[in-house]
Amino acid sequence: MSGNAMVSWQRVSKEYAGKPALLDFSLDLGPGVHCLLGPNGAGKTTALNILTGIRSASSGEVQLLGQRVSRGGKQARSLGCVPQSLSFPPTLKVVEVLRFIAVHYPDPLDFAELETKLDLAGILPKQCGSLSGGQLRRLGIAAAIMSNAPVLILDEPLAGLDIDGRAAVRHLLLEQQEQGRCVIMASHDYAEIEATADTVTLMQDGRKLATGSIAEIRDTLDISYLSFESPAAPPTELATLGTLQELGAGRYRLITKQPDPASKLIVELIPQPRLQISQSSLEDAVSNLLKKEAGQ
Ligand SMILES: Nc1ncnc2c1ncn2[C@@H]1O[C@H](COP(=O)(O)OP(=O)(O)OP(=O)(O)O)[C@@H](O)[C@H]1O
């Protein structure tokens, strides 16, 4: 376990009816926003459920703030959690649910502060059974943040949220990061991951494929995109430096591993190319890593 780890999975495996869902999974996470990502069924929720104590590991162990996690154990008081599927008693009002949850934590967040941060005023008097999907998600996030716990687990926190809701959650995540909390989220939303996460861990078939900062994962692909304008067909030399694509209306894109000589050539040979250079996205890099793993 590394020095500043707040959460540590140590060679954790989990089987459901003899089928592996998590395989020898090890990961240490300290303060910051961390994202588990990977295809459906990769094992993200299983890893999180073992951390929260909802499920037990078949082998290996998980430590939370230096203590071994057990199923249904006391560690839950150090965790705020938004599970993937949210269900609250349908006849209870939102305000009642939040008050009920607050009493289970030693130092819950001030209720008024929470209300403002997540713009909850409109839904507090509503019964949980009458909430829309996005309002339910907002309640789930409010419950997790209200815990004021050092470790927050958010499984698909942005699913179903509107633009304002996403902005509010993004802001909250950055705030939690600044306060030195360890926020762990599972998500499929690459734009949000790139905007909020410090590190990402890519999983597939219950295994950890890669872990690192977003820049480190992007760099595994090592590809640049050079977009430019050309009044005529671009010089053929360019095609020797990568894959040239015609985008229409006189715009082209070169996908290359050699951005320096390629951009030099574009600027030399094409008048006013309006060159734009961008790195591979996290999504491209992840897709490439998954393809490599599948031997494609
Ligand atoms: N309660 C369960 N009983 C049997 N199998 C399960 C159970 N929960 C998960 N699994 C299986 O374990 C594997 C990992 O599932 P998990 O929910 O952890 O994946 P995930 O990465 O969170 O997927 P998603 O992105 O779809 O939420 C899958 O093959 C799934 O079918």
35 residue type, one letter: C
Contact status, residue 37 vs residue 201, Cβ threshold 8 Å: yes
pLDDT digits (tens, 9 = 90+) for 254-269: 999 899 999 999 999 9
Q: How confident is the model at residue 1 (pLDDT cuts 50, 70, 90)?
A: low
Ligand 1 site, CB within 6 A: 16, 21, 38, 40-46, 186
Ligand 1 centre from 40 Cα, in Å? 8
Domain segments of the chain as ranges: 7-219, 224-279
Ligand 1 centre from 219 Cα, in Å? 29
- Ligand 1 pocket test: pick from 45, 52, 190, 203 the residue with the most ligand atoms within 8 Å of its Cβ: 45
Note the Cα 115 to chain centre separation in Å: 24
> What Rg value do the Cα atoms of the chain yield, rounded?
23
Contact status, residue 264 vs residue 235, Cβ threshold 8 Å: no
Q: How confident is the model at residue 296 (pLDDT cuts 50, 70, 90)?
A: low
pLDDT digits (tens, 9 = 90+) for 204-255: 999 999 999 998 998 888 889 999 999 999 988 899 999 999 999 999 999 9
Q: Which residue has a Cα nearest atom 31 of ligand 1?
A: 41
Average pLDDT over residues 123-135: 90
Give residue for tokens 């599970």.
Answer: 83
Percent of the chain clearing pLDDT 90 (strictly above): 50
Contact status, residue 159 vs residue 185, Cβ threshold 8 Å: no
Ligand 1 centre from 33 Cα, in Å? 23
- Ligand 1 pocket test: pick from 15, 25, 27, 44 the residue with the most ligand atoms within 8 Å of its Cβ: 44
Q: How far apart are CA 36 and CA 197, in angstroms?
A: 10
Whole-model pTM: value is: 0.84
Q: Cβ–Cβ contacts within 10 Å for residue 265, how many?
A: 19
Q: Cβ–Cβ contacts within 10 Å for residue 268, how many?
A: 10
Q: Which residue has a Cα nearest atom 3 of ligand 1?
A: 16
Ligand 1 centre from 125 Cα, in Å? 35
Q: What is the largest CA-CA distance in the chain?
A: 70
- DSSP letter assigned to residue 281: P
pLDDT digits (tens, 9 = 90+) for 57-115: 999 999 999 999 887 777 777 888 876 677 888 999 999 999 888 888 888 888 888 88
Q: How far apart are CA 259 and CA 88, in angstroms?
A: 53
Topology annotation, domain 7-219: Rossmann fold (3.40.50)
Q: Which residue has a Cα nearest atom 26 of ligand 1?
A: 40
| Per-residue pLDDT, 294 | 81
Ligand 1 centre from 180 Cα, in Å? 30
